[in-house]
Structure 1
Amino acid sequence: MTVISPTDPTHVVLPVTEVDRDELRAAVHAAEPGPLLMAMVHMTGDTSLVAEFRARLDAERGAVPPVPGRYPEAVAAEVRARAFALFEGGMVPKLTVPSDALFRRMAEVCVDDAVGEEFTAHLREMGGFEPARRHVPVTKVPPPGFKVIVIGAGMVGLNAGIKLAEADFDYQIFEERDDIGGTWSRNVYPGAAVDTPSHFYSYSFELNPNWSRYYPTGPEYLDYMRHVVDKYGLRSRIALSTKVLRCEWTEETRRWKVMVRAADGSAQVHEANAVITATGILNAASIPDIDGMDAFTGTVMHTAEWDPKADLTGRRVALLGTGCTAVQVAAELVDQVEALHVVFRQPHWIVPEPMVEAAVPEAVRWAMARIPYYQQWFRVKTYWYAGDKGWDRPRIDPEWSAAHLSVSPANDVVMRVCLNHLERTFPDRPDLRAALTPDFPPYAKRIVKDPGFLAALGRENVSVHRASFRRIEPDGVVTTEGEFLKADVIVFATGFKLEFLSFMDVVGRDGRKLANEWAGQDPRAHLGIMVPGFPNFFVTAGPNSAPNHGGGHNLVSEGHVHYVIECLQYLVENSWSAMEPKREVVEEYNRRVDEALDKTVWKHGGTATGYYRNASGRAWVSCPWRLVDYWTMLRAPRPEDYYFTETGQP
């Protein structure tokens, strides 16, 4: 049975006319009732179901607040029974494109929550119901010779290639590594996984019904990206093992010269009308400079430079770090090694998330693949509770924070969940609870979802040390607390150096260097994307664009790519050759960014250390806006914010 053609984007939903009753029964029983109910609305076209179940949910709620998004059992059972009866005869949608008003009402019942009007178009796109709506009129095609260079073949670079091709722009992708995938081709350490739910952490135009886990492993996510490359025909446009060394704007031609070191080692110069950087900000491994490193007789690895041939079975391992990567490595290695010494300067707030290690049942995958619109609505619900529902948690309530470690009631809820997780895991180990309890509020550093890390720390072969490495000996390490830890292997789970293009030489108009513009670890850009003096130079994952309150990098990256395409189309429609933001516009935008961030833990995070703040304490990574607000800002450029250059006139 074919549900979706492998050549179609996944918003193209086809009818299912033949159904195996046993498979359907299992799928309906395992399915989430909210998305299942919405699939029923699509199949029948009966919009009265929305009002009927809105009333049922309200009536069943009673005086006890429900678990967010969880239907009362009686309502869930009714949805499943009616869905099976309806679907066993086949599934032919009668309602394919609900109006915005109806879609919003459907979304509210699906997630069992109020959904603001501003979310309607946002959820339609992010849920995978439709492609991004074009805002700049499309009446012209790009002129011959108009070319775009994309730097990087990770999540953003592949997205850029797909959308450039759809908009008829000629493009070339340069990738320094010998494979696509960015983070997920580089990070092959044991336990490497995505900490955003699978069914949301994918392109909105290329949903995947076949995730094997609710949070994908690194290898599975890389397989997904390779599928995308093959489906959309990107391989011929990607030059692997090609490092971009320099980008220089040429005023006479109004084009960028992009100098690369090709796979054969030769130096080459390419020209382009526009450049899109898709390099991310966490690229170079951060390896601490510790005395005695060269004297160590065992194996030393950083998690970003992991040797997949390394066998740690029966070895004694000293692991430095306790962030997202460290917890994955520790949970994965604990059953293999003889001894695991976990050493860290600061703990993170660790939340329990049972779904991190949970497999997606076959019946659920059947529902995703075969019940039309089910996976789109499942994605809406997943995103709803992983996105802007968490926007208030990093924001400071001055009255509350004056008397608490947490900064607001919402922030305190997260802290209590984490503390309860520690208490349940180590009821008889006050020493471990103390060592693992941060002295700063949640979200000041990245929240960690527990993949089994706390349980691993309670094992007999694991020791916990609130310290760092002072010195490395030939057969182990000495901590800053003076302890000697005998080790055969040292693993640095110490993250990356945060680099906003500091590794690349970028020269704009009048010889202006981006390194100078962004000196002092203080990068600024309009919408996190464009910089004055650098025409047609588009930065993705730029300063203050990370959704650190929730959501996922995939959402922001799609928004950035959409904005770039809209900018390029605006140039084509108006016969301009180049655009760059006005400096006063950039300054005003960043004034508002700083003003908003000043009310968050990202700026006032207490003793928290990490990459969210630069050397002077400015929050330079986090985006202060709700995801829906930032997405709305990225629908199309405002011409009054830019200077434009006419074609043929520098």
Structure 2
Amino acid sequence: MDRPIRQERHMRIACVGAGASGLCFAYKLQRSFEDFTLTLFERNDAVGGVWFANRYPGCACDYEAHSYTFSWDQKADWSSVYASAEEVQRYFEGFARKHGLLDYCKFGTTVKKAQWDDASGHWGLRLQANSGAEWEDEFDLLINASGLLSSPKWPEIQGLDQFEGLKLHSAAWPIPPPDLSGQRVGLIGNGSSGQQLLEALQPIASHLTVFIRQPTWVFGPFGAPPRCYTADELQDFADSPETLLAKRKHFENRVNSYFGICLRDNPKQAALRRHLTQGIREQLAGRKYDDLDGLEEAFIPQYAPGCRRPTPGNRYIESLTADNVTLVMGNITHGTAEGVVDHQGKTHHLDAIVCATGFDTSHRPSFSVQGRSGQDLRELWSLEEPNAYLALAVPDFPNYFVFYGPNNPFASGPFLATVGQSTPRFPFRLVSNISTTFLAYHADYMLRWCDRWQTENIHSFSPKQEAVNEFKDYADTVFQKTVWTDSCRSWYKTAPSQPTKVSLWPGSGLHYLETIASLRGDDFDVRYKGNRWEWLGNGFSQVELDEECDLSYYIRTEDDGEFLSSKKRRRALARGSHVDRESLHIIG
């Protein structure tokens, strides 16, 4: 014990993925820690994750670009209100270069297996380069930042593999991109990617057949109408960072006013439904179909708004009712060499099939993760409903964290927002997207545990199963009051056949941030190497041995220390300039 209290030990961290989550973790680790080794294993050849992989026609972020940044790293020169996938990827590339994060990245590398060794207290990783070479390495902590939206999910259609034409997926668009001009194209799916593809393909395809299992609520632009910024606006953003900050905060304040509308009995939920229904009917008026009732059935959902991820549908109805588009409601029964057969037995002859069917959102890792008992997390979450501790950690998987695990806050707060004054047609707006704010709070939480591991003689830590079980019981009770358990097909749910089983956070986004703002050590199984008090060292403090520290730092003219109650800490942190909440059209 020949060392002072909290003497740091070297910390080896493996992070899987160099998208927004991995880069955020790397930045925050580098900013606050020393004496560590970090490797970001990235299967692609560049950073950006989903924004590097997704390159289908029309791919763009449907969250206002100025708010789709790390909260402390605003970007003044976004070219338009909603940035293209390529521009978003360039933002993360620039962020990585600015902070030297590329030095931590090992590109073209896939993690095949991670196995916990309880005797040594380490994770053993089996790695594979894109060239095929394999090797193994060892780490103290493992961070899974591969993302919830990383593995394409192909539709489960019998015989689809028999189709002899071009078969494409929105999340795996080929390079170079195929030319679909003049082709007979079948488009499967009507989520955000499906709507963007619809609007991009409709003008160029000779005929577009769109297959939809259920209608979706059409919201229009999530924020301001889509447009490019003028040169004068870009100059104003660059010259006045405080004005740009105020613009971002105004948007985010509206975002954070949303959660109440997710509650079934909230009168604003009923008001939203009426307004959206009226807006859809106005758009349908005068369209090519004669049967307005049948048309409404195809465009106006029976489930509550917010049950599934909202989509903007900027030209959704206009595109779907174009002369060269056929809308098919219902399941596809099977595929053939020439096309597909719908639920009514009609064969649709196609040159290309485009699947906008999203990602595998089951939360099962894309690689084998074997914990203390030897059980693979992929198998565990296949056999039973995925459950994690605050969307961050898993019982019996020590020194392991995951970004956006089960019960993440994807559908509340900054993921769903009300914006009230874009256009008179829709007085409500909903936004849904991964917020870099939550990535930062996730990283902060993980690094608080990293700090404990580095400065104490901790062998391992993992959440207790009883804590996860009790949280699940609490969450299930709250979910019954929300629209998320309504009868819709949504990746918010753990399985389409179980509409009441929801894998979301049971509250608002700000509610989640307050929950993970500090560690609850009593929820964790913490094991030590030797005597748990060995980290106290030889009796010397770090202050005594650090020449840059003041030996009487506690002597001062006033008490400027941190408040000790949650209420006063919260107000010190969040009580900024007064916000007129009525002007934000807060719902709930």
Shorter-chain TM-score tier: 0.7 to 0.9
C-alpha distance in structure 1 between counterparts of 2:78 and 2:395, whole Å: 42
1:544 aligns with 2:407: yes
Matched residue type, 1:385 = R
C-alpha distance in structure 1 between counterparts of 2:126 and 2:320, whole Å: 49
Q: Structure 2 matches for 1:118-137, cutoff 5 A?
A: none
Counterpart in the other structure of 1:337: 205
Identity percentage of aligned residues: 27
Counterpart in the other structure of 2:271: 413
The DSSP-based 3-state class of the residue aligned with 1:181 is coil
| Residue-by-residue CA offset, 1:275-303 (whole Å, 9 max, x unaligned) | 11011223332222434434433211111
Counterpart in the other structure of 2:113: 246
1:454 aligns with 2:323: no
C-alpha distance in structure 1 between counterparts of 2:382 and 2:170, whole Å: 29
Task: Note if contact 1:349-1:415 (Cα within 8 Å) is conserved in structure 2.
Answer: no
The DSSP-based 3-state class of the residue aligned with 2:238 is helix
Matched residue type, 1:296 = F
1:383 aligns with 2:252: yes
C-alpha distance in structure 2 between counterparts of 1:338 and 1:596, whole Å: 49
| Residue-by-residue CA offset, 1:68-107 (whole Å, 9 max, x unaligned) | xxxxxxxxxxxxxxxxxxxxxxxxxxxxxxxxxxxxxxxx
Residue of structure 2 aligned with 1:570, choices 445, 452, 477: 452
Matched residue type, 2:211 = V
Closer, same or farther: CA 207–648 of 1 in aligned 2, 3 Å: farther
The DSSP-based 3-state class of the residue aligned with 1:284 is coil
1:321 aligns with 2:179: no
C-alpha distance in structure 1 between counterparts of 2:275 and 2:233, whole Å: 28
Counterpart in the other structure of 1:128: none
Residue of structure 2 aligned with 1:373, choices 229, 233, 242: 242
C-alpha distance in structure 2 between counterparts of 1:551 and 1:195, whole Å: 13
Counterpart in the other structure of 1:347: 215
Matched residue type, 1:391 = F
C-alpha distance in structure 1 between counterparts of 2:7 and 2:231, whole Å: 45
Task: Note if contact 1:282-1:499 (Cα within 8 Å) is conserved in structure 2.
Answer: no
1:639 aligns with 2:521: yes
Closer, same or farther: CA 377–461 of 1 in aligned 2, 3 Å: same
Task: Note if contact 1:295-1:472 (Cα within 8 Å) is conserved in structure 2.
Answer: yes
C-alpha distance in structure 1 between counterparts of 2:275 and 2:183, whole Å: 34
Counterpart in the other structure of 2:425: none
Deviation at 1:458, TM superposition (A): 2.5
Counterpart in the other structure of 2:552: none
How does the TM-score come out when normalised to structure 2?
0.80
The DSSP-based 3-state class of the residue aligned with 1:204 is coil
Task: Note if contact 2:19-2:145 (Cα within 8 Å) is conserved in structure 1.
Answer: yes
The DSSP-based 3-state class of the residue aligned with 1:612 is coil
Task: Note if contact 1:567-1:636 (Cα within 8 Å) is conserved in structure 2.
Answer: no
C-alpha distance in structure 2 between counterparts of 1:293 and 1:519, whole Å: 24
Deviation at 1:476, TM superposition (A): 3.2
Deviation at 1:172, TM superposition (A): 0.6
Deviation at 1:156, TM superposition (A): 0.3
Matched residue type, 2:207 = A
1:177 aligns with 2:44: yes
Counterpart in the other structure of 1:73: none
C-alpha distance in structure 1 between counterparts of 2:201 and 2:253, whole Å: 34
C-alpha distance in structure 1 between counterparts of 2:457 and 2:22, whole Å: 26
Deviates more, 1:509-518 or 1:198-207: 509-518
The DSSP-based 3-state class of the residue aligned with 1:205 is coil
Deviation at 1:356, TM superposition (A): 5.3
Residue of structure 1 aligned with 2:32, choices 160, 164, 167: 167
Residue of structure 2 aligned with 1:427, choices 285, 303, 307: 285
| Residue-by-residue CA offset, 1:45-89 (whole Å, 9 max, x unaligned) | xxxxxxxxxxxxxxxxxxxxxxxxxxxxxxxxxxxxxxxxxxxxx
The DSSP-based 3-state class of the residue aligned with 2:43 is coil
Deviates more, 1:232-241 or 1:261-270: 261-270
Matched residue type, 2:491 = Y
| Residue-by-residue CA offset, 1:279-333 (whole Å, 9 max, x unaligned) | 1223332222434434433211111122242001111111111111110000111
Deviation at 1:456, TM superposition (A): 1.1
Deviation at 1:235, TM superposition (A): 1.6
The DSSP-based 3-state class of the residue aligned with 1:310 is coil
Number of corresponding residues: 498
Residue of structure 2 aligned with 1:151, choices 16, 23, 42: 16
1:301 aligns with 2:168: yes
C-alpha distance in structure 1 between counterparts of 2:381 and 2:500, whole Å: 13
Counterpart in the other structure of 1:229: 96
Counterpart in the other structure of 1:38: none
The DSSP-based 3-state class of the residue aligned with 2:360 is strand
C-alpha distance in structure 1 between counterparts of 2:111 and 2:364, whole Å: 11
5+ residue gaps, structure 1: 1-138, 398-407
1:206 aligns with 2:73: yes
C-alpha distance in structure 2 between counterparts of 1:264 and 1:222, whole Å: 25
C-alpha distance in structure 1 between counterparts of 2:153 and 2:185, whole Å: 19
Closer, same or farther: CA 356–175 of 1 in aligned 2, 3 Å: farther
How does the TM-score come out when normalised to structure 1?
0.73
C-alpha distance in structure 1 between counterparts of 2:385 and 2:301, whole Å: 27
Closer, same or farther: CA 292–540 of 1 in aligned 2, 3 Å: closer
1:471 aligns with 2:471: no
Larger relative CO (CA 8 A, sep 6+): 1 or 2?
Answer: 2
C-alpha distance in structure 1 between counterparts of 2:344 and 2:492, whole Å: 27
Counterpart in the other structure of 1:113: none
Task: Note if contact 2:202-2:325 (Cα within 8 Å) is conserved in structure 1.
Answer: yes
Closer, same or farther: CA 389–476 of 1 in aligned 2, 3 Å: same
C-alpha distance in structure 2 between counterparts of 1:350 and 1:294, whole Å: 32
Deviation at 1:522, TM superposition (A): 0.9
Deviation at 1:177, TM superposition (A): 2.3
Counterpart in the other structure of 1:279: 146
C-alpha distance in structure 2 between counterparts of 1:501 and 1:294, whole Å: 25
The DSSP-based 3-state class of the residue aligned with 2:354 is strand
Task: Note if contact 2:123-2:141 (Cα within 8 Å) is conserved in structure 1.
Answer: yes
The DSSP-based 3-state class of the residue aligned with 1:375 is helix
Counterpart in the other structure of 1:75: none
C-alpha distance in structure 1 between counterparts of 2:237 and 2:529, whole Å: 49
C-alpha distance in structure 1 between counterparts of 2:473 and 2:163, whole Å: 49
C-alpha distance in structure 1 between counterparts of 2:279 and 2:58, whole Å: 21
C-alpha distance in structure 2 between counterparts of 1:648 and 1:306, whole Å: 53
C-alpha distance in structure 2 between counterparts of 1:174 and 1:196, whole Å: 28
C-alpha distance in structure 2 between counterparts of 1:602 and 1:200, whole Å: 25
Residue of structure 2 aligned with 1:488, choices 330, 333, 351: 351
Deviation at 1:508, TM superposition (A): 1.6
C-alpha distance in structure 1 between counterparts of 2:126 and 2:500, whole Å: 33
Counterpart in the other structure of 1:506: 369
| Residue-by-residue CA offset, 1:570-593 (whole Å, 9 max, x unaligned) | 223334232222222222222222
Matched residue type, 1:636 = S
The DSSP-based 3-state class of the residue aligned with 1:511 is coil
Deviation at 1:410, TM superposition (A): 1.6
Counterpart in the other structure of 1:35: none
Task: Note if contact 2:386-2:494 (Cα within 8 Å) is conserved in structure 1.
Answer: no
Closer, same or farther: CA 316–179 of 1 in aligned 2, 3 Å: same
C-alpha distance in structure 1 between counterparts of 2:129 and 2:352, whole Å: 35
Deviation at 1:477, TM superposition (A): 2.7
Deviation at 1:417, TM superposition (A): 3.0
Closer, same or farther: CA 541–298 of 1 in aligned 2, 3 Å: same
Deviation at 1:502, TM superposition (A): 4.0
Deviates more, 1:453-462 or 1:152-161: 453-462
| Residue-by-residue CA offset, 1:13-66 (whole Å, 9 max, x unaligned) | xxxxxxxxxxxxxxxxxxxxxxxxxxxxxxxxxxxxxxxxxxxxxxxxxxxxxx
The DSSP-based 3-state class of the residue aligned with 1:570 is helix
Closer, same or farther: CA 472–525 of 1 in aligned 2, 3 Å: closer
5+ residue gaps, structure 2: 416-433, 533-588
